[in-house]
Structure 1
Amino acid sequence: MPDWALIWGKFSLAVAVIAVAGSALSRNGDAIAQRTGLSGSWIGLLLLATATSLPELFTGVSAVRLANAPDIAVGDVFGSCIFNLAVIVVLDALHRGHSVFDKMDESHLLMAAFGIILIGFGGAGLLLAPASLAPSFLQVSVFSPLLILLYLLALRAIFYFEAGRPKAEGRKTGPSLGKAIAGYTTAAAFVVGAGAWLPFIGQDLANVMGLGQTFVGTLLIAFATSVPEVVVSASALRIGALDMAIANLLGSNLFNMLVLAIDDIAYVQGSLLEAASKAHATTAFMAMIMSGIVIVALLHRPGRRFFGAFSWASLALAAVYFLASYVTYLYGR
């Protein structure tokens, strides 16, 4: 069997495992939300986003500690951010009737806004680190502890925002809370396991295709590590938990910036932000633009859909994503 066929076979197997486990993850996450009265947005941010973003963490630490590939680690983080936002386009196409932007809860404004702040800090760190404008301590950029602090502040702000809103009544039917938590934990283990395997498959694909680290990290590895977000969000949409699906994507972007800080700490050869290519800053700024589009769409609901499937916001997100991919390709050739 040719090497490429074996690699694609592994990729298909990993995606199949994530598809089955991701569906269970969404169902049990929704059951936890209903049983506890917590909002779907908070469950998506705290439970789903954390579980589906762990592959980015494993990939980043492995890239900087084992492979000495800082561009793979940084490219995966920012590439996953733009890919997660592009997944909203897919959800919009799959959603029947109105655009998903017409049905999203207003709480996503806060997540998207914090996403712009954290991603902006990460992009600024990339540009300022080599100019000695951002001091380092024990080889860790000053931006990394700031990213960790901002992530915790974002969680706190979103928690208190959700806590101040009317709570849904707990559902009396369906699995018990204990069974839902056990089901979520089991499904999350499969998602994390298969998701952690995907980056290594992506690296094999990159070697076969002979592409540079910047392009590979931003597009191929980022796509591989973001497969859990795609499957889990689509599963949540299918069971009618739209807000949980969107919170999973926007929350994953927040978690990705935490991953960037952890990767910097794990990189013992110096500051990761200084070692990585400055081309990644372009991806960061594109992610900020895409997050801004989401905010505008939430404040000015699209209403009309083009081709019966896409709102103007989805078309704008797709355009920026493809532009970011093309620019990354030019840098990474």
Structure 2
Amino acid sequence: MITAIALVLIGFFLLVWSADLLVDNASEFAHQVGVSTFIVGIIIVGFGTSAPEMFVSAMAALENKGNLALGNALGSNITNIGLVLGSAAMVRALPVTQTTARIDIPIVIVTGAVAIYMVLDGLLSNMDGVILLALLFSYLAWSAGHSKGAGGEPAISDIVADPHELDLSRIDHPRGKSAGSALLFTLFSIILLMIASKMLVQGAITIAIYLGVGELIIGLTIVAVGTSLPELAAAISAARKGVHDMIIGNIIGSNIFNTLGVLGITGVIRATEIDTGALWRDFPVMFVFTIFMFIFALTKGNFSRGEGTILVIGYFGYIGYLVVTSLI
């Protein structure tokens, strides 16, 4: 058990570090070889928002633990809204733009509804995974076209949410690093992500066996919270500094990538029979949290401290229910 806990903790640390390393070096390599800022932005956002979740879920699927991957995706989405957004709003009320309230959040709702519809038959199939990934790329293409406006290349912040408030001027490009060395570091970070994911998944499986709970529950709780801790720390820091756009954009972008990208990759790698608990409990909970986010954003034009408190209480109530029912 101690070894399993150590694997999980080390895996979390390596995931966060290697994901940041991947973002920095992949963007640097793209710049060195003359790739457009749009593609660089997709690298930053795509890997920056959900690299830990994507690699953990892919590794879980390869280990034939599809419900661990499913729990990771659903749990991360619930954690993002209930814990991350709620905690940030408790620190300071977060203003919401009309575009966010009327376009961005509804897109999150639609992607969640599509995912629920696809698994109603109790199976996340290979075809479901392909469709979800196709929807993700379609969303990115639509966002790119929508953001071009009067012409020219779209701004990164207009394409899709950036989880770490990273734009091209803020990326840490090591001075003097060549394209070759940037590529090597990129490959190294991918390998490290795979190793960290393997450690985390193996540790989580061992803990699940030791506690006698299902892999879905471990994915929804330990794994999901762990992969969301960097976002939580960043959100609270941003709330204190009044950088509210970064917080909301982080959650929207991350949840879209988790729903379409993480579930999509899981389905493509291995068809997964959905745990019945996910069908009647976790998918609906994710959807309800998203609806509450939409209502709070639309009615007052901000997320108040009171609404943040509601989200946090709802989140811990949900986690408490999972823990109690799984151990009884």
Normalised by the length of structure 1, the TM-score is: 0.67
CA distance in 2, matches of 1:244, 1:226: 15
| Residue 131 (structure 2) pairs with residue 146 (structure 1) | yes
Are 1:290 and 2:289 counterparts? yes
CA contact (8 A) 1:23 1:235 kept: no
Deviation at 1:112, TM superposition (A): 2.8
Aligned residue for 2:46?
46
Offset from partner CA, 1:184-240 (integer Å, 9 cap, x none): 958965666535532322222223322223322322233344445446666777888
Give the match for residue 114 of structure 1: 107
2:161 aligned partner: none
Q: Which residue of 1 aligns with 2:159?
A: none
Cα deviations by residue, 1:38-79 (Å, 9 ceiling, x for unpaired)? 8xx978643411434323432342342xxxx34323222212
Q: Distance in 1 between matches of 2:188 and 2:85?
A: 23
Give the corresponding residue for 1:308: none
Structure 2 Cα separation of the partners of residues 226 and 7 of structure 1: 20
Provide closer, same or farther for how the CA distance between residues 115 and 21 of structure 1 changes in structure 2, counting only shifts above 3 A. same
Q: Which of 209, 212, 228 does residue 210 from structure 1 map onto?
A: 212
Distance 2:146 2:176 in 1: 26
Aligned-residue identity in percent: 18
**Separation in structure 1 between the aligned mates of residue 244 and residue 24 of structure 2, nearest angstrom:** 12
Q: Give the partner amino acid of 1:53.
A: E
Q: Counterpart of 2:213 in 1: which secondary structure?
A: coil
Q: Which moved more, 1:12-21 or 1:73-82?
A: 12-21
The answer for unaligned runs of 5 or more in structure 1 is 131-135, 305-310
How many residue pairs get aligned? The number is 303
TM-score normalised per structure 2: 0.68
CA–CA distance in structure 2, aligned partners of residues 141 and 170 of structure 1:
35
Closer/same/farther in 2, CA of residues 177 and 196 from structure 1, 3 Å limit: farther
1:171–1:55 Cα change, 3 Å: closer
User: Which of 303, 314, 317 is equivalent to 2:311?
Assistant: 317
| Distance in 2 of aligned mates of 1:43 and 1:227 | 21
Q: Give the letter for the 1:46 counterpart.
A: G
User: 2:123 matched to 1:123?
Assistant: no
**CA distance in 2 between partners of 1:110 and 1:292 (Å):** 13
CA distance in 2, matches of 1:285, 1:326: 17
Matches within 5 A, 1:258-273: 258-267=261-270, 271-272=271-272
**Counterpart amino acid of residue 72 in structure 1:** L
User: CA 1:30/1:89 → structure 2, altered by over 3 Å: closer, same or farther?
Assistant: farther
CA shift in 2, pair 1:209/1:26, >3 Å:
same
Alpha-carbon distance, 1:280 to partner: 0.7
The offset of 1:291, in angstroms, is 1.9
CA RMSD of aligned residues (A): 4.7
CA contact (8 A) 1:18 1:195 kept: yes
**Cα displacement (A) at 1:82:** 0.8
Trace 1:1-333 onto structure 2 (pairs within 5 A): 3-4=1-2, 6-17=3-14, 45-64=45-64, 69-85=65-81, 86-93=83-90, 98-99=92-93, 101-102=94-95, 106-107=99-100, 110-127=103-120, 129-130=121-122, 140=125, 143-164=128-149, 182=182, 185=186, 189=190, 193-227=195-229, 229-230=231-232, 243-257=245-259, 258-267=261-270, 271-272=271-272, 275-281=273-279, 282-299=281-298, 300-302=300-302, 311-329=305-323, 332-333=326-327
Distance 2:101 2:44 in 1: 11
CA gap of 1:232–1:206, structure 2 versus 1, over 3 A, is farther
Q: Given that residues 233 and 245 in structure 1 are in contact (C-alpha distance below 8 angstroms), is that contact kept between their aligned partners in structure 2?
A: yes
Specify the code of the residue in structure 1 equivalent to 2:107: F
How far did residue 103 of structure 1 move?
A: 6.6
Tell me the CA shift for residue 114 of structure 1. 2.1
When residues 173 and 254 of structure 1 are mapped into structure 2, their CA distance, relative to the original with a 3 A threshold, is closer
For the residues of structure 2 that align with 1:206 and 1:199, how far apart are their CA atoms?
Answer: 10
Inter-CA distance 144–170: structure 2 relative to 1 (3 Å threshold): closer
